Amino acid sequence: MSKFWICTILIFVCAGSSRSFAAPGALDLTFNGSGSTNVAMGAGNTFGRALAVQPDTKVLLGGYTHNGTNFDFAVARFLADGSRDTAFGQGGEVITSVSGGDDYGLCIAVQSDGKFLLAGYSENAGIREMSIVRYQIDGALDESFGTGGKQLIQAGQSRSSAWSLVITHDGKILLAGWTDEGGRDVFASIRLNTNGTLDSSFGNSGKITTAVGSVSSSGRGIAIQNDGKVIIGGFATIEGSIDFAVARYDSNGLLDTTFADSGIALIPVGNSSTDYAYSALIQSDSKIVIAGSSSINGTADFAMVRLDQNGYLDQGFGVGGKVTADFQTDNDFALKVTAQLDGKLILIGSARVQGAANIAVARFHTDGTPDLGFGNGGKVVTPVSATSNASWDVAVTPNGRISVSGWSQIDSRFQMTLVRYVGTKPIEDWRYRYFRTILPQGITTNDSDPDKDGIPNLVEYAFGTPPDKPGGVELPLIQTDSEAYMVEFTPPEGVSGIHYDLEWSPSLAVSSWVLLTNDAVAPNYRFRLPRNSIPAAFFRHRITELP
């Protein structure tokens, strides 16, 4: 009489890459059924610029819309499934006239109390000023901020623009951009108290300006280090060449002379003397990433540089501290960089294909090499409309979804666009569902057994059972007939990135295990072992996560 023994063990093996309907870089079809949504507001064109994900996973999309006469600040809010949040403003939308002239909302941030800020610039009677509005959670103006919820600030002489916004550790508000001073454009930043008044302890009565380069310069991205120092990235003109430019300030707004060359780093990236930086990021290891576009042989490509804490190029990143990415299109312009929980970098912007601009996303490993498991060789191009698209901001949710904001031309009208991509492998999504993290650490690693039922997480995932409740895994049964032992099964729906093997042994001796061949057509598995005169057969499953 034959004996059967099934022993399920975990063997972790690195193998080839995996693909599934929900591979990283694919449109997230749980979002509005298509992975994207558009918003037409006001009487004319509407442009999406800024993006923020609230702690409850609702998404704020900020920008500006035309009212028939001029532009106003505009905000829309969406639920996690991509539908409009009708509890916000009127039908999910809020439109705000700030100055009575043209108002352009370019950057957004959510406070710890749920209130949020939209900032940019306003033009009225030939004067351009930085402008900022604070809203209540439901979209109503917060009248405790500034004047009736609004604030206008001139950082220089007559032209100022805020391009980025960040909330400091103590709740103060930092805006960064550019202004005119002495006949040229310069870096500019202002810091506001929580009530919208200028913070007199920062720079010159709440304002700082810095001439960078020999001609003009423009600050664009801002980030705050853990020690409170402020990084502003942008670009500057130096003797006919436009280069990435980075300045670092102490928490009181003074240039930090210990950084690079007396507080300023100038970095040429490409070989055609035209490099524009728009975004700044502080990594968890305190290194500084500056991103934008660079002209390589006359054509613009995505570009990033990484600096160490002293302001010098990090030689362990890309090639000599620099990374470029070519989408094999006419021109590729990157506008925002962010980091996932696992440290991977996401760079978004636009790629022009045969005259039409498309939303473009690229993902990189922490050393700057392309993440080939994302999209097509680390890149994704999305033509929401067939004519014109642009993306300006990106945010990553805790479960790894990647949201990108911008605009698309729908028929003859521009509309706000919000696109969501899958950012995680299915097993990372599974970890988040049960453990609220995508990272393999502590009880979330593949070989951990948090419910102590003897079945490690990888096996729980592979056979579709919860890792937080003991028992439940029903391994495929050994079937037998007069000719063979046989195991047949189909992986549970939604499980991918896993390879299943079956091994057998006549004696359980370490060296006696033999791998059986799967003779079924994917995604099915079928293993057969001819019975012949085998007196006893022991079987074990070999579960492998594909990288």
Domain-wise residue ranges, the chain: 3-16+436-545
Residue pair 358/351 in contact (Cβ under 8 Å)? The answer is yes
pLDDT reading at 12 higher than 90: no
pLDDT reading at 442 higher than 90: yes
pTM of this prediction?
Answer: 0.86
What pLDDT does residue 239 have? 82
Question: Which of the four pLDDT bands, split at 50, 70 and 90, describes residue 22?
Answer: low
Q: In terms of pLDDT, which residue wins out, 20 or 243?
A: 243
Mean pLDDT score, 16-29: 66
- Among the listed residues 70, 89, 66, the one whose alpha carbon sits nearest the alpha carbon of residue 78: 89
What pLDDT does residue 23 have? 86
Written as six digits, the tokens of 14 are 């690195």
pLDDT reading at 20 higher than 80: no
What pLDDT does residue 348 have? 97
DSSP string, 126-161: TEEEEEEEEE-TTS-B-TTTTBTTEEEE--SSSBEE
Q: In terms of pLDDT, which residue wins out, 478 or 202?
A: 202
What pLDDT does residue 2 have? 35
For the ranges 81-85, 225-229, 237-241, the lowest mean pLDDT is seen at 237-241
For 297-434, list the strands marked E by DSSP.
Answer: 299-307, 322-325, 332-339, 345-353, 356-364, 379-382, 389-396, 402-410, 413-421
What pLDDT does residue 5 have? 42
Mean pLDDT score, 99-126: 95
Written as six digits, the tokens of 330 are 């006419």
Question: Which of the four pLDDT bands, split at 50, 70 and 90, describes residue 195?
Answer: very high
What pLDDT does residue 355 have? 76
Residues whose CB falls within 8 Å of the CB of residue 344, separated by 6 or more in sequence, listed in order: 363, 364, 365, 366, 371
Mean pLDDT score, 39-46: 93
Mean pLDDT score, 156-176: 95
Mean pLDDT score, 320-340: 92
pLDDT reading at 520 higher than 80: yes
Written as six digits, the tokens of 66 are 């035309």
pLDDT reading at 474 higher than 80: no
Distance CA 41, CA 51 (A): 17
Say which amino acid occupies 442: G
pLDDT reading at 128 higher than 90: yes
Half-sphere exposure of 395 (CA within 13 A, CB side): 21
Enumerate the β-bridge partners of residue 530.
Answer: 484
Bridge-based pairing state of the strands 3-10 and 536-545: parallel
What are the tens digits of pLDDT across the range 339-398?
Answer: 998 999 999 999 987 778 899 999 999 999 999 999 999 999 999 988 899 999 999 998
Return mean pLDDT, the chain: 91
Residue 501 Rama label (left phi>0; alpha psi -120 to 50; beta): beta
408 CB neighbour count, 10 Å cutoff? 26
Mean pLDDT score, 183-196: 96
pLDDT reading at 103 higher than 60: yes
Residues whose CB falls within 8 Å of the CB of residue 354, separated by 6 or more in sequence, listed in order: 330
Q: In terms of pLDDT, which residue wins out, 370 or 273?
A: 370
What pLDDT does residue 19 have? 34
